[in-house]
Structure 1
Amino acid sequence: MCESKHLMRVQRTEGALASSTTQYIGQEACSVFVVVRQEESPISDVSSVVEKITRELKDNSNPERKVKISKYMKTSNLRFIGVELPDIHRIVKTHIKPLKPEQLPSLMGELWSTESFETRLAAIDMMKVYAKKAPVEKALDIIDCWIDEIDTWGICDPLCQPCIGTLLYRDPSIAKTLEEWRDSDNFWRRRCSVLPYLFLCLKANYQPEFDSRILKAVEPHIDDEEFFVGKAAGWVLRELSKRNPHLVRGYIDKNKDRMTKLVLREGSKKL
């Protein structure tokens, strides 16, 4: 189990006392931990930083936005504060500016466990930064824990495309982990197994050698009847068709009898 608990380890050295905090990150079915050395961190109290961020989010709450977003994210049981995305980005940027990547996991973990839509988006904003520089496996382990608590595409998608997508771009070997997610009973996890490949399809990132990897990730889901999974598979095909239309047209012609109507429609939109 991923548990929210802190284990203090104190290491005594000759003439000095060095302390570090080992914090378990996530909520479910994981044993992920990260070490944050207190002597390196300006965060003396993670909870107080989380309180400041939460307060600033509430100060930027828009009642109309709160009503609108709660209706739009109707599958979610999270609380909604009603903050516009640019305000979330600005607040997060202000608080993480003085921090090193290795100092982010404890902060992300507490924000995620707050269980509001906006604090989880704030945690994901931090993960976007962390995913670019941190050890790939450590970042993926944290995300793996989070996936079991996803209940809306509004959390799933920003976690997939920029976060897992960045890790996939940095280290192709994590595709093995994503492959393990393909048969999950949790359809959000299945969505997470394919949607990160959207990042590889983007104009700024795309390389022709990605084609086979992308199609391999899409293939298990072209007949998935779950809306959110089929939608993701079609979305990735559509984005790939902007880079290599001939390839995607041929792939669809070959596999259209297997494809759901949703995947076929979404994947063909730009052809």
Structure 2
Amino acid sequence: MDFELPIYPENQAAMKKYMQSQFEFNGVKAPDRHLIERELWQSVKQLPPAEIMQFIETLYARPTREYQYVAIEMALRSVRWWDSIDAWRKVFGEYIRLHPEQFDWVAQHFIGAENFWLRRIAITLQLSFYEKTNVAFLEEAILADIDTDEFFIQKAIGWALRNYSKENPEWVMTFVEEHELTIFAQREALKKIKQNKMFHRKHTKSSTHDN
């Protein structure tokens, strides 16, 4: 799919300076870009998910910063297929891993969203971040949905806590003790911790018998 943003030389230097010369720009200001994005979406929204993903990847690989903004906006608008939601989570998670200064900008699109699939992304956004996990955001995202009956939300809560327990099991155990999680989410959250305890106990007994 052919797509080109206009170039406004009179804006390029100021926009580059504002971003501390980290990026090159076409010079398209946000209001103009948003209009272009809305028009572009009309051409993109009927494409199969795989083609949209390819288009987004192509946009993001371009050298000027506005294309990356457009790519993110297309991705945000495309998060509507429940069976591919975790693939989108990977896209956004990888983006903020590379650009941590934009964590808040990305995260605010998901936390507190009316659509529970978007809130699922908020909960699982930091999978595999480990020591770089924004714990305050993780806690906020979980607590916002802790009483939600939706299976996929409860699964996300357990998944996120289980994954973070690899980095900080004490925090996860304390969180579980202090909050009323569903039985399912609690079981998922503590699974890795219990496995490690069982392994340690078995290993300790084995060492004792060897002696």
Asked if TM exceeds 0.5, the reply is yes
Please state if 1:246 is matched with 2:170.
yes
Please state if 1:146 is matched with 2:78.
yes
What percentage of aligned pairs have identical amino acids? 19
CA distance in 2, matches of 1:189, 1:215: 16
Q: CA RMSD in A?
A: 4.1
User: Which amino acid in structure 1 is aligned with residue 176 of structure 2?
Assistant: I
Instruction: Look up the match of 2:182.
Output: 260
User: Which amino acid in structure 1 is aligned with residue 82 of structure 2?
Assistant: T
How many residue pairs are counted as aligned between the two chains?
166
TM-score normalised to structure 2 length = 0.60
Conserved? CA contact 1:165–1:197, under 8 Å: yes
Q: Which runs of 5+ in 1 are unaligned?
A: 12-19, 23-29, 35-105
Instruction: Look up the match of 2:124.
Output: 195
CA distance in 2, matches of 1:183, 1:171: 21
CA distance in 2, matches of 1:6, 1:225: 42
Residue by residue over 1:103-147, the C-alpha shift from the partner in whole angstroms, topping out at 9 and shown as x without a partner, is xxx8x99776322x54355456x279649x956644432222112
- Higher Rg: 2
Matching residue within 151, 159, 184 for 2:88: 159
**Offset of residue 238 of structure 1:** 0.7
When residues 33 and 171 of structure 1 are mapped into structure 2, their CA distance, relative to the original with a 3 A threshold, is farther
Q: Which runs of 5+ in 2 are unaligned?
A: 9-25, 194-211
**Offset of residue 156 of structure 1:** 1.0
Q: Which has the higher helix share?
A: 2
CA distance in 1, matches of 2:78, 2:120: 14
Residue 269 of structure 1 aligns to a residue in which SS?
Answer: helix
Conserved? CA contact 2:96–2:106, under 8 Å: no
Q: Which has the higher strand share?
A: 1
Q: How does 1:17-32 map to 2 (within 5 A)?
A: 31=34
TM-score normalised to structure 1 length = 0.48
CA distance in 2, matches of 1:113, 1:200: 33
